A and B are shown apart, each in its own frame.
Chain A
Amino acid sequence: MGAAVLSVQGLGVATTRTPLLADVSFTIDSGERVGLIGESGSGKSLTALAVMGLLSDGVRANGTVELAGHEGNLLERPEREMAKIRGSDMAMIFQEPMTALNPTMRVGAQVAEVMRIHGTEPSKAAAKSRAVELLDSVGLPDPANVARSYPHQLSGGQRQRIVAAIALANSPDLLICDEPTTALDVTVQALVLDLIVRQAQERDAALLFITHDLAVVATVCERVMVMYGGRIVEAGPVTEVFTDPRHHYTQGLLAASDLSMPDGSRRERRSLPTIAGSVPGAGHFPDGCVFRNRCEAATEACTEVPTWHDRGDGAGYACVHPLGADSSSGHGARDD
């Protein structure tokens, strides 16, 4: 594993009225694949947009975001300089392949453009032929023909490969994927996941992979961060977090998402464990521990923001009543 490519410290995001993200800190090394999981409204996409400097107008970020090879805090950089970094040293793949491409421009030109912007190819013609090579390398059959198509003539899986080609064109040090396969069919998902991992590995890029699907994150990533209510509530190596969770939310999520039994066999018609209630809307999470209004173990102590407990090996959690050996309190999910 290489040196840290991305380092985020105390990142917060807020609109004028509502805080959306608080105290988000993590680092990703080169060649490392880190997953960020959470449900809708957890703030995982905001984290990605804040790192990319693509937050929309009325939303502001504070804290520090550092990218290897660039001095200082990215959040303080003027737009013009950020534009130079985006698409070259860090790139992003988005969730909705249907809308992420310009409908009135041929896809080949859209891929070639990213190389022309950053001057990685000397001429228009060179960028064009390189674009066709890229389309080939992301597994599109008949790439020359695809390059001449408009997005509406392609399927969702094909479009997502094109979005990937755009992101990978300049071999970024950091690749951020925001739910890249959520809109795709399951068979296509398997192929696109493979593509993303393979391409990131080839370039020794740091990968930040955002998803709501625990199985996908376990397949793709080595390390995982669990996000809820705009905070990272637990983080660590995938095997550790998913087999021995400390936070009640992680535990509940694990129980609710796996429909088969732990050994992979079918769970006979029995009630699934659930997490009570539903995810509050932005700005409606409780003070202190964001999960405490849905947590069975919550006590008076949870009204304070829980401190981060280090488990070593980069793992940790933010919970006053953690699960596991050193705790006596109950479990996060009900089996009823």
Chain B
Amino acid sequence: MTQPIEQEITRSRRRPINATLIVGAVLVGVIVATAAVSLVWTPQAPMRVLSTEAYQRPNAEFWLGTDRLRRDVFTQILLGARTTLLVGIVAVGVAALIGVPLGILAAMSAGWFGQLIMRSNDILLAFPALLLAIMFAAIYGGSTQVAMVAIGIATIPSFARVTRASALSVLRTEYVTAARAAGRGPVAIAVRHVLPNVASLVIVQASVAFAIAILAEAALAYLGLGTPTGQPSWGRMLYEAQSTLRSAPHLVLIPGIAIAWSVLGFNLLGDGLRDYLDPKLEDR
């Protein structure tokens, strides 16, 4: 009874991998590799005070020199990468795990409940990450853990917003109507249709939020409200080196470059992923 048509199933969408994505992935890859190396090897024992001169310029023995307290800078940079990644992962993890379900919930509940979620979200949005982290530090004292959680909470609204907007557009598509007409319940629609289709935007958002988290942590450590003295942190290194800027500029430049490197990496990765995952932006 049916008429077979000419079979020409074609058009597999081959997405061009863009330069931004590659550069971003390489920059982030270096940070990840650095952190991984520090797990098994560091040139010197972590945070050990050496019996050598302070303020050494980079040299053969101490690749990136030594600081005021005669510690090896390269070792600190390696360990700092770990802190940086840890902060990013925890902060983004907290934000995504809470923000994404909230966003989907807000999109799917049309009435007062969805309104309530978004209004609460807007109020949380009035507390920028740094401010929230300072509040947390005022109460609980400054530590890496407190900083991570505070930054994470402050990042929830951005995830919830992005997810909600994207989920709303997914919910307006005919394939969701088709699923409803097929008898699928709200949970199945959320899990089978909405989540997979908002995932790419959430990944992009995660990458950008990672960069913001790194910046916030560095600022907190610099203010003395994040990672405390004696623990490795790029922001902390900057703070300690500021007073000796004139005599030992490399102590500022090296952690500064490390921070900028990782922020740049995650921002580029986010931009690259946005172009890679969104066919609409192909011609940019």
Contacts and interface: CB of A to CB of B under 8 A. Distances in A.
B221 to A, nearest CB: 45
Given A277-B8, A280-B10, A58 B283 contact: yes
Interface string A181-192: 000000000000
A56 B11 CA distance: 23
Task: Give the bracket for the number of chain A residues in contact with chain B.
Answer: 10 to 19
B3 interface: yes
Interface residues of B, number: 7
B61 interface: no
B5 interface: yes
Contact of B3 (A280, A294, A336): A336
The interface residues of chain A, by DSSP majority, are classed as loop
With a 10 A CB-CB cut-off, give which of B8, B10, B11 has the most chain A CB atoms.
Answer: B8
Interface string A254-284: 0000000000000000010000111011001
A96 to B, nearest CB: 17
B6 interface: yes
A294 B8 CA distance: 11
A278 B11 contact: no
B8 A278 contact: yes
A152 B283 CA distance: 28
A336 B3 CA distance: 8
A277 B283 contact: no
Contacts of B11: 281, 284
B10 A277 contact: no
Interface of A: 56, 58, 271, 276-278, 280-281, 284, 293-294, 336
Interface of B: 3, 5-6, 8, 10-11, 283
Given A56-B283, A278-B8, A281-B10, 13 more contacts: A58-B283, A271-B3, A276-B5, A276-B6, A277-B5, A277-B6, A280-B8, A281-B11, A284-B10, A284-B11, A293-B8, A294-B6, A336-B3
> Which 10 pairs of residues, A with B, have the shortest CB-CB distance?
A277-B6, A276-B6, A281-B11, A277-B8, A336-B3, A276-B5, A277-B5, A284-B10, A58-B283, A294-B6
